[in-house]
Chain A
Amino acid sequence: MVRIIKKKRYNKDKEGKEQQEEYIAPTFSVDFDENFEKFKGYLEKSGDDVVFREFAFATADIKCGVIFIDGMVSKQWIQVNVISPLLLGGGQLNIDADEKEKRYKTALTIKRKIISAAEVSEAEDLDEAMRMLISGETILLVDGYDKAIVIGTREFPLRGVQEPITDPVIRGPRDGFTEALRFNTALLRRKIKDPNLVFDMMTLGRRSKTDIIISYIKGITNPKLVEDAKKRIEKIDIDAILDSGQLEQLIEDNNISPFPQMQNTERPDKAASALLEGRIVIFVDGTPFVIIAPASLYQFFQSAEDYYERWIIGTLLRGLRWVGSFIATFAPALYVAIVSYHPGMLPTPLALSLAASREGVPFPAFIEALLMETTIELLREAGARLPKPIGQTIGIVGGIIIGDAAVRAGIASPFMVIVVAVTAIASFIIPSYSLAIAFRIIRFPIMILAGTLGLYGVMLAFIIINIHLTLLKSFDANYMSPISPVQVSDWKDAFVRAPIQWMKKRPVYINPVDIDRYEQDAVKEM
């Protein structure tokens, strides 16, 4: 049944594509007024930010016109380098030909000699010209010329390079990606000055026409990986892509899993190190977050700073993060299981004080834990969406006052408050926000299992999570590697951060073409 539906949908797609192929974009004529009116007809309704300026080329008295979108171009620049040379009649024209030929050649001369712009190109038809215009270029129409001259004048409001808000480090580079695609690629090029670094541009989104760049280093990255990524992106048919997060969801392997299957970062150094390991980095125009693929679980426990400080602290911190993730996932469930099913496994004094503290609590441990965990999730969400100064107040009011009041009122035991607080703090220790979310989500089903089956339920949950992670793939790389399948040489960068001198190989599980970090194969290939 499913197959039939799929087939039908496929056929529909096919028909749609055929229709699209039949459509022919309107071309330009030789007549200036007609061309100019075409643009006006399309754009007049879309608002008054479109500027139409009609004038005459002084030297030959030919009608010209520029069209651009106010705010997306540098007006000053157009005036100095396009309009005034034309109006003031720069350049010399010695053309002996009939009127029609003359105008054509004049247009070529304008393009070649008069406009002093770095980027000048031509658009064959209206659609192409329109796309350029909308992305911030200026269109120059000349009477007698049946193409539109496109002048590169993009300049739009931008945030400068700032320190990234996510992934902050104490020691390490402080530049972060911005919303402009070209800035981002430049930041990356500054880190890796290798001509083998490739930026492959694609456009996505029927309406948004978002630029997307897949970057990789030729000679390190496996070409199959690049091909796979391109194929996945080409398959997408959507009206708009506004953030890399949307793209990530469209190309991931398993969209039911709570776990992130690609890494995202705002840091150019992190992106550069991923490229050097043989991964691909996907840029999306309009967002400072780039996607790194493939990813495996251990990567989400790495912070850029692990590599900048000496290896001992890096190793210890990684261990701490693994422990933290375990606490963030299992602590409330273990509390519920032990209190309600196995109080005997605690040492007697602890068991007694726990029982005493729970004496006044009217709920079973499971309800108590659910209540408190829900409260802290509420607080967290409230704090995250509020403006910063108020957000902090929420933290204090929620964390300290409600916690204290809940204990005094006898709704929750002090132990439960400790468990909830430690769980929340432990979940902040994970450097990757997307993975921390995953742990936050799975905590609740685990609590339910703990409430119904005790420690056996917790262990079942542990096994289920492991099965799921083992089956999960990210761009054909195993999510659980290097734990399963075992890849001992990759352990040096997974659970510990070995001294840099020891890490002479790139991670094996992503199948890089060039496995050795220190041998200069890639440069030789050039």
Chain B
Amino acid sequence: MSTEKDRLSSVQVMTLAAMTIIGTGLINLPRQVVEAVELGGVLLTLVAGGTVTTLSVVITLLGRRFPNKTIIEYSSDIVGPILAKGIHLLLAVYFLVGTALVLRLFSDAMKAFLLDNTPIEVIMITMLILTIYLAQNGINAVARICEAFFPIVLISSSILLILGLKNFDIKEFYSLWQVDLVDVVQNISAVTKAYLGFEVLLFAVAFMAKPKKAVICGVAGVGLTTIIYTATVAICIGVFSYDALKFQMYPTMELAKSIDFPGAFAERFDVFFAIFWIVAVFTTICVLHYLAGFTTVRLIGLKNYRPFIYLVAPIIYFLALAPQNIYQVKLCGQIFSNLGGLAVVLIPILLFIIAIIRKKGERGSEEAK
């Protein structure tokens, strides 16, 4: 299908997973966490991250059983073509809605922080043009961009968190021993949605040069994200306290605003952070856009995804414009995460179990011998 040179390297898969996950979650995760549980937000983030990391292990193991095949191909190997079509449809809808939702969340935040008077449509269209430009060149180009931008996101968020430590109040964590573990476990699913994006591994493993390293790459990518997210949540809680966090739309941005930059060449650090955050969200939208095009084209039964990158763009645009206000956006986010729970959490687990039982795939056939 593709030559050795066009394949994804291990680092590329790792950054692809990390950059797809790190997106809107980076600025509103702390609020989501605090809304979900009263205490133990840090623990919840960590546990949710651990859950997703386990999931990524399942996904990469599943991908490794079927070399050079994405979920589109191996799902029909496992459960037959008719059920597989259903899975394809679900995935296509999931990615379309996902792209639209992230685009909408991003545009709202951009409007709030950088461009007060610019219509939201302009922000969306410019962003979509950029993602089309990149996504039509295939997953390899997308992965290379993720690789190039990963250090930018990592360094900028690290600087933010380190500077944020100045206002950090350790007293917020004194109540650590009163955390209700049952409460934490019950709310894992609410926080898991911030980690959505790891499903890119369902596809990326098929394009890897060394699929044997898939599991390590997946774990490293998701694990790094977990560390960044947990640190962000911890520092936001430490700086703002639980009660204040609930009323902040974008807590991480507020954190950036609260920073006094040493040397004071800039008054508002949040603008700096916002422009670096654009990079993080761009990669997320781009990967999801690519996957939306990819799954749609396979659903119809064609091979060339390139025209579909263009064709799904208007659909994504109108889906993103559909919610009238922030409340509806939140509602859509709820629907999306439920859909995600079905499409990329439940289905891969089921597929994995069925594949083991029916002894499908490479390792399965080895065992049969």
Q: What string of 1s and 0s marks CB contacts (under 8 Å) between B113-128 and chain A? A: 0110010001100110
Decide yes or no whether B308 CB sits under 8 A from chain A.
no
**Interchain nearest-CB distance for A267 vs B (Å):** 31
Does B351 have its Cβ within 8 Å of any Cβ on chain A? no
List the A side residues contacting B267 at CB < 8 Å. 344-348, 351
What residues of A have a CB within 8 angstroms of the CB of B282 in the complex?
463
**Contact string, B122-141, partner A, CB cutoff 8 A, digits 1/0?**
11001100100110010001
Interface status of A320 (Cβ within 8 A of chain B): no
Query: Does the CB pair A470–B144 fall under 8 Å?
Result: yes
Task: Report the count of interface residues on A (CB-CB < 8 A).
Answer: 30
Within 8 A of A (CB), among B13-51: none
Total count of chain B residues near the partner, CB < 8 A: 33
Stretch of A143-151, A234-242, A451-459 with 4 or more beta carbons under 8 angstroms from chain B: A451-459
Q: A344-B267, A486-B147 are in contact. Are A470 and B141 (CB under 8 A)?
A: yes
Knowing A466-B149, A470-B141 are in contact, say whether A456-B110 is a contact too (CB < 8 A). yes
Give bound CA distance, A480 to B148, whole Å: 9
Q: Once the chains are docked, how many angstroms separate the CA of A466 from the CA of B145?
A: 7
Q: Is A198 an interface residue (CB 8 A)?
A: no
With both chains docked as a complex, state the minimum distance between the C-beta of B113 and any C-beta of chain A, in angstroms.
Answer: 9
Point out the residues of chain B lying under 8 angstroms from A466, CB to CB. Answer: 145, 148-149
Contacting B115 at CB < 8 Å: which of A456, A463, A478, A484?
A456
B266 in the interface (beta carbon within 8 A): yes
Asked whether any CB of chain A lies closer than 8 Å to the CB of B75, the reply is no
**A463 vs B276: C-alpha distance when bound (angstroms):** 11
Q: Which of A344, A350, A467, A483 contacts B133 (CB 8 A)?
A: A467
**Does the CB pair A345–B268 fall under 8 Å?**
yes
Q: How far is the CB of A418 from chain B (nearest CB, A)?
A: 15
Q: Do A480 and B126 touch (CB < 8 A)?
A: no
CB proximity of A461 to chain B, nearest CB, Å: 10
Binary interface encoding of chain A residues 246-267 relative to chain B, with 1 for a CB under 8 A from any of its CBs, else 0: 0000000000000000000000
A346-B266 CB under 8 A given contacts A466-B145, A484-B148? yes
> B177 within 8 Å of A by Cβ?
no
Answer whether residue B319 sits at the interface, using C-beta atoms and an 8 A cutoff. Answer: no
> Are B275 and A459 in contact, with the CB atoms below 8 A?
yes
Of A351, A460, A485, which is within 8 A of B147 by CB? A485
B121, chain A: closest CB distance, angstroms: 13
CA distance A342 to B275 in the complex (A): 12
Tell yes or no: B12 within 8 A of A by CB: yes
Q: Are B114 and A484 in contact (CB under 8 A)?
A: no
State whether A485 and B12 are in contact (beta carbons under 8 Å apart), knowing that A347-B264, A454-B114, A470-B144 are contacts in the complex. Answer: yes
Q: Is residue A60 contacting chain B, with contact meaning CB distance below 8 A?
A: no
**Given A467-B130, A484-B148, A485-B11, are A458 and B275 neighbors across the interface (CB < 8 Å)?**
yes
Residues of chain B within 8 A (CB-CB) of A478 are 144
Distance to closest chain A CB from B139 (angstroms)? 13
Which residues on the B side are within 8 Å of A471 (C-beta)? 137, 141
Closest to B270 in A: A345
Q: Mark B residues whose CB is within 8 Å of A.
A: 9, 11-12, 110, 114-115, 118, 122-123, 126-127, 130, 133-134, 137, 141, 144-145, 147-149, 264-268, 271-272, 274-275, 278-279, 282
| Listed A/B pairs (30) with beta-carbon separation below 8 Å | A344-B268, A344-B271, A345-B266, A345-B271, A345-B272, A346-B266, A346-B267, A347-B264, A348-B267, A350-B265, A453-B115, A453-B118, A453-B122, A453-B126, A454-B114, A455-B271, A456-B115, A457-B126, A459-B275, A459-B278, A460-B126, A467-B134, A467-B145, A470-B144, A484-B145, A484-B148, A485-B12, A485-B144, A486-B9, A486-B147
Kindly list the 3 A-B residue pairs having the minimum CB-CB distance in the complex, ordered from nearest. Answer: A484-B148, A345-B271, A484-B147
* Given A456-B115, A464-B130: 11 more A-B contacts, CB < 8 Å: A341-B115, A345-B268, A454-B115, A463-B130, A466-B145, A467-B130, A470-B145, A478-B144, A484-B148, A485-B12, A486-B9
